[in-house]
Amino acid sequence: MNIRKIAELAGVSVATVSRVFNHPERVLPETRDRVLAITEEYDFTPNWFARNLTLGSTKTIALLIPGIDSDLYRNIISGVETVAGNKGFVVIFCQTRGDAEAEFNFLKIMKSRKVDGIIQVRSLLTPSMAAELQTFNIPRVHIGKNRECGCEMMCYLDYEEAAYRLIHHLSGLGHQSIVLLYDNQGDDITPEIEAGLHRVSRELKRSIRFTAFAGENSAQGGYLAVQRMVQNGDLPDVLVTAGALQAIGALKAARDMNLSIPGDLALASFNDSPVCSVVSPAITCLEMPAAKLGMASARLLFDRIEDDDQDMGVSQEMILQPKLKIRESCGNTTDIFELFD
Amino acid sequence: MSHTIDLMGLQLKNPIMTASGPWAGDAVGIQRCIDAGAAAVITETISLEAKQRISPRLFCDDDGLFNTMLYSNMHLEEWEEELSTIDRKDAKLICSIWGSTASEIAYLSKKVEHMGADAIEISISAPIGSRNLRMLRHSCDIQEFMGAAVKAVDIPVMVKLSYEAASSPNFLRELELSGIRAVSAIDALKGLAGVDIENQRSLMPTYGGYTGQHIRPVSLATTAALHQYTPLQVVSSGGVLDHETAIEFLMLGATAVQLASAILCSGYGIITEIVRNLEHWLTEHGYSSVDTLRGTALRSLRAFEDIVPRSLCASVNEKCRRTECLICAQSCLQDAVYLDEAGTIAIDPDRCDGCGLCVERCPHGLLTLEWR
Ligand SMILES: Cc1cc2nc3c(=O)[nH]c(=O)nc-3n(C[C@H](O)[C@H](O)[C@H](O)COP(=O)(O)O)c2cc1C
Ligand code: SF4
Ligand code: SF4
């Protein structure tokens, strides 16, 4: 029995049934009585009603996140907090620092604190740890693609499509060699970038040289990367950095070494930051919908916390799409570089 | 007499709906649309994120309207709360949604179904902000995206099309295969209000959606063309201003029409007025139902190639000496219009090639085209 069937039986809309439980004063008494009679007959309690009565709910959820030092993480936190706030929940925040052991311990502590649900960002849990959590019985959502961490719900960004769009654009500008500077602390996004790159090569029937190396996700990291490429005498057409700060560092290195961007070296970043549009040349980048990612994952979590049997029936996986923001650093010369289309 | 229609299996009490937009941006707005007599109300577009609003965001040019608003500024949780307070009476509630991936669209579809939507309208091509070009460029993706929504819910799904999307037969075929039940068209056109040429500045800071009476011709043609391209039901949007324009769309095959700019410019009362006037008109003209009127003007349309050239020539039906006017003379590329010795307008039949422009433009209707 679900709310739709109740509505059908009572000959009213789903919203009316909903109103009978939430705002009975707004429903005509005879309609209300009819709906209540049917819900009683079928022994039906709507979940949003039950959720307020759930015994033992602490109205808290936990957010396990590697750090707070990037725009991406900050925006995820903000997104999660927004939805939790809308629901009247408090978020307990645990910084895992990219350590599987720490993450595992936090999970056990959160269980003892009786949180209603948990969101794990970029989980590093191993299958054996996940197995130990089998009996946990707390809804968990994973922001990331680790399928071994035992979360039944997942939410992540489509990096491959993002890479495809960025490289398609770069390639269209005539660039033929790309170096990726990825984050030595974060995920290695090289496989996704390579997949996107292959799609572009296939489609445009053009070969693109690609190499990747790791660096610190900071301005310093970007600075050193450019210095290294210049001193090794192997400047590519484009440098793509994983983080916006790395791109800023690359910009500074170029200035110090009298390189013109984008003339001698084109530049793009795999993540956006407000500074990217402020510096000159403004940096072309991908905007990751991180706040939306936080909101989406929190919503999956609350759907589960609030109703086990409302049967949302949708896939428990949500994929979000980054957006390409074409500015100047990639070598784009059209006048309208701040309109993203 | 009843003027009910069937849209995607839903019974609508009349063919007048309100389009997605800020007039249906919360419970109060939606309630006002319902109370004014709309048969179905489409919510402002709901997405996973609440969109920020810029100010100013509405621009005007004569009676043309430009907006730079992208979807709703309310969170999904707030929508849930708002929708639960509406008294729908006998109106249908359709939730407009937008998502960038198949899983996102499926999720939102399921959510709004739970919130009590009678149907879903998926927005795929607003002219403002970044669009999902992948969806529009790759016909194969559209089937996956829309199919995800159709599979996720038990309520009917329709898709709102831009002029561009509605002009592609391939795209429409893919849409049809995805299992959606209707299309609405057209969404706002991409527009700029003008340029301040003294200061070399665009009058608007970014592209806007151009709507209102001036887009009606584009929308009328799209309604007719959609009939050619797809068996899906068509709901017309774009320049529906009053009952007569609504009838135009119905006669070109629209199942129902949507009001948008009309509400912004004349208030919610315009809904009541259009519904009432439409009913009068139908009764007065002896139509027993909306269905008997639907598509009746399509018969009068034919392919350009099938129009047999007639040998016509302009002729003056009444002496005209309005030398201050001379619009007819200015309109003639053939130099066929002249003032004769008596100082009256005359046409040289040897020069006239029957283009008809002078006839269309004469403010006093003094000219006609006649068989040679
Ligand atoms: C201010 C404004 C906001 C709009 N917001 C939306 C929206 O959120 N979602 C949508 O699908 N269409 C939106 N539209 C487009 C309208 O629904 C409608 O398709 C368009 O205005 C054309 O109809 P009209 O010429 O009667 O105005 C908006 C239009 C205006 C003027
Ligand atoms: S119908 Fe055309 S060509 Fe003939 S007189 Fe008028 S404007 Fe000239
Ligand atoms: S346009 Fe009509 S009114 Fe004007 S000069 Fe010609 S015939 Fe006379």
Name the residue facing B77 among A16, A86, A318 (closest C-beta): A86
| Backbone angles phi and psi of A65, in degrees to 5 | -140, 140
- Average pLDDT on B80-96 reads 94
Mean pLDDT for chain B overall:
92
Across the interface, do A315 and B106 touch by the CB < 8 Å criterion? yes
From the options 3.40.190.10, 3.20.20.70, 3.40.50.10680, 3.30.565.10, give the CATH code of B5-300: 3.20.20.70
Lowest-confidence segment of A305-309, B3-7, B80-84 by average pLDDT: A305-309
Contact B207 A339 (CB under 8 A): yes
User: Which residue shows structure tokens 């445009």?
Assistant: A204
Q: In the structure, what pLDDT confidence band is assigned to residue B130 with cuts at 50, 70 and 90?
A: low
Which residues form the pocket of ligand 1, taking CB atoms under 6 Å from any ligand atom? B 19-22, 44-45, 65, 67, 69, 71, 96, 123, 160, 187-188, 209, 211-212, 215, 237-240, 260-262, 264
Residue B245 alpha carbon to ligand 3 centre in Å: 29
User: Which of A22, A291, A318 shows the shortest C-beta gap to B107?
Assistant: A318
Average of pLDDT values for B143-148?
92
Domain ranges within chain A, ordered by starting residue? 3-46, 60-157+290-321, 159-288+324-339
A-facing residues of B in 87-106 (CB < 8 A) are 87-88, 93, 100-104, 106
Residue A58 at interface with chain B, using a CB cutoff of 8 Å = no
DSSP string of A148-216, one letter each residue: TS--SEEEEE-HHHHHHHHHHHHHHTT--EEEEEEESSS---HHHHHHHHHHHHHHHT---EEEEEEE-
pLDDT at residue B126 above 80? Answer: no
Q: Is the pLDDT of residue A313 over 80?
A: no
Q: Report residue A315's pLDDT band, with 50, 70 and 90 as the boundaries.
A: low
Inter-chain residue contact A15 with B84, CB threshold 8 Å? yes
- The per-residue pLDDT for A117 is 95
Q: Which of these CATH numbers, 3.30.930.10, 3.40.50.2000, 3.40.50.2300, 3.60.15.10, describes A60-157+290-321?
A: 3.40.50.2300
Q: How large is the average pLDDT for residues A50-74? A: 79
pLDDT score for A52: 47
Which of B67, B186, B241 is the best mutation target for the ligand 1 pocket, counting ligand atoms within 8 Å of the beta carbon and taking the most? B67
CA distances for A245 relative to A62, A227, A331, angstroms: 29, 16, 19
Q: Can you state the angle between helices A14-22 and A3-10, rounded to 10 degrees?
A: 100
Q: Given pLDDT bands bounded at 50, 70 and 90, which one contains residue A194? A: confident
- Res. A325: pLDDT tops 80: yes
| A295, A314, A339 ranked by CB distance to B152: nearest | A314
The confidence band for A19, taking pLDDT boundaries of 50, 70 and 90, is: confident
**Hunting for tokens 């039901």 — which residue is that?**
B233
Residues of B in contact with A20 (CB under 8 A): none
Q: Is B11 on the interface with A (CB under 8 A)?
A: no
pLDDT score for A253: 96
Closest chain B residue by Cα to residue A85 = B77
Tell whether the model's pLDDT for residue B90 goes beyond 80: yes
- Closest ligand 1 atom, residue B22 Cα: 3
Question: Looking at the predicted structure, is the pLDDT value of residue A33 above 80?
Answer: yes
Ligand 3 centroid distance, CA of B338 (Å): 11
Q: A340 and B130 in contact by Cβ < 8 A?
A: yes
Measured CA distances, B154 to A339, B9, B120, B179, B180 (Å): 38, 12, 10, 12, 12
Q: What percent of chain B has pLDDT over 90?
A: 76
- pLDDT, greater one: B187 or B140: B187
Helices (H), B139-268: 139-152, 163-166, 169-177, 216-229, 243-251, 261-266
Give the residue from B80, B103, B110 with the most A CB atoms within 10 Å of its CB, the best one to mutate: B103
Q: Which of B313, B317, B353 to mutate to test the pocket of ligand 2 (most atoms within 8 A of CB)?
A: B353
User: Which pLDDT does position A83 carry in this prediction?
Assistant: 94
A159-288+324-339: which CATH topology? Rossmann fold (3.40.50)
Pairwise CA distance, residues B82 & B74, whole Å: 10
Mean of pLDDT values over B295-317: 90
Domain map (residue ranges) of chain B:
5-300, 309-371
All residues of chain A having their beta carbon less than 8 Å from the beta carbon of residue B132 are: 321
Instruction: Report the first-to-last Cα separation within chain B, whole angstroms.
Output: 48
Rounded to whole angstroms, the Cα distance separating B104 from B91 reads: 28
Tell me the average pLDDT across B79-101. 93
Question: Is the pLDDT at A339 greater than 70, yes or no?
Answer: no
Looking at residue A239, its pLDDT comes to 96
pLDDT value at residue B289: 93
Beta-strand relationship, B208-212 and B189-191: antiparallel
Asked if residue B7 has pLDDT above 90, the reply is yes
What's the pLDDT band for A89 if we cut at 50, 70, 90? very high
Count Cβ atoms below 10 Å from residue A176 Cβ, excluding itself.
13
For residue A50, the model assigns a pLDDT of 44
Going by C-beta distance under 8 Å and a sequence separation of 6 or more, which residues neighbour residue B350? none
How many beta-carbon pairs below 8 A join chains A and B?
Answer: 88
Q: Is the pLDDT of residue A64 over 90?
A: yes
The percentage of residues in chain B with a pLDDT greater than 70, rounded to a whole number, is 95
Q: Does residue B218's CB lie within 6 angstroms of at least one atom of ligand 2?
A: no
Lowest-confidence pick of A89-93, A207-211, B60-64, B259-263: B60-64
pLDDT band at B140 (very low <50, low <70, confident <90, very high): low
Virtual torsion, Cα A329, A334, A340, A341, nearest 10 deg: -140
The structural architecture, per CATH, of the domain B309-371 is 2-Layer Sandwich (3.30)
Mutation site for B-interface testing, chosen from A321, A337, A338 by largest number of B Cβ within 10 Å: A321
Strand B16-18 versus strand B256-259 pairing type: parallel
Cα–Cα distance list, B365 to B141, B197, B331, B351 (Å): 53, 38, 14, 21
Encoded tokens for B164: 């561009």
Query: What is the reported pLDDT for B129?
Result: 60
Region A185-199 average pLDDT = 83
| pLDDT at residue A53, as a whole number | 43
Distance from C-alpha of B194 to C-alpha of A153, rounded to nearest angstrom: 49
| Residue B100 burial class via C-beta count within 10 angstroms: exposed 0-12, middle 13-18, buried 19 and up | buried
ipTM associated with this complex: 0.76
Distance in angstroms (rounded) separating the CA atoms of residues B40 and B93: 6
Query: A296, B48: Cβ pair inside 8 Å?
Result: yes
The 10s digit of each residue's pLDDT in A212-253 is 989 998 999 999 999 999 999 989 999 999 999 999 999 999
Give me the DSSP letters along B274-306: HHHHHHHHHHHTT-SSGGGTTTTTGGG---GGG
The rounded mean pLDDT for chain A is 86
Q: What is the model's pLDDT at position A49?
A: 46
The two three-digit tokens of residue B177, written as one number:
């295969």
Confidence of residue A55 (pLDDT cuts 50, 70, 90): low
Q: Which CATH architecture has domain A3-46?
A: Orthogonal Bundle (1.10)
Strands B195-196 and B189-191: unpaired
Distance (Å, rounded) from C-alpha B209 to C-alpha B193?
10
β-partners of residue B96 are: B121
pLDDT confidence of B297, banded at 50, 70, 90? very high
The better pLDDT of the pair B132, B268 is held by B268
Cβ–Cβ below 8 Å for B154 and A319: no
Mean pLDDT within B144-161: 95
What confidence score (pLDDT) does residue B305 get?
Answer: 82
Residue A147 predicted with pLDDT over 70: yes
Token pair 């038990």 in the structure block, residue = B154
Res. B271: pLDDT tops 60: yes
More confident residue, B56 or B260: B260
Taking the CA atoms of chain B, what radius of gyration do you get in angstroms? 24
Reply yes or no on whether the pLDDT at A107 is more than 90: yes
- What is the band of B39 on the pLDDT scale with cuts at 50, 70, 90? very high
As for ligand 3, residues whose beta carbon falls within 6 Å of it are B 320, 322, 325-328, 345, 362-364, 366-367
Domain A3-46 and domain A60-157+290-321, same fold? Reply is: no
Summarised one tens digit per residue, pLDDT across range A109-123 is 999 999 999 999 999
For residue A281, cis peptide bond before it (omega within 30 degrees of 0): yes
- Whole-number Å distance between alpha carbons of B83 and B101: 25
Interface of A with B in 282-301 (CB under 8 A): 289, 291-292, 295-296, 299-300
pLDDT at A336: 58
What pLDDT score does A40 carry?
85
Average pLDDT rounded to a whole number, residues A249-268: 95
Beta strands in chain B (DSSP E): 5-7, 10-12, 16-18, 40-42, 58-61, 64-67, 92-97, 119-123, 157-161, 182-185, 189-191, 195-196, 201-202, 208-212, 233-236, 256-259, 312-316, 337-339, 345-347, 367-371
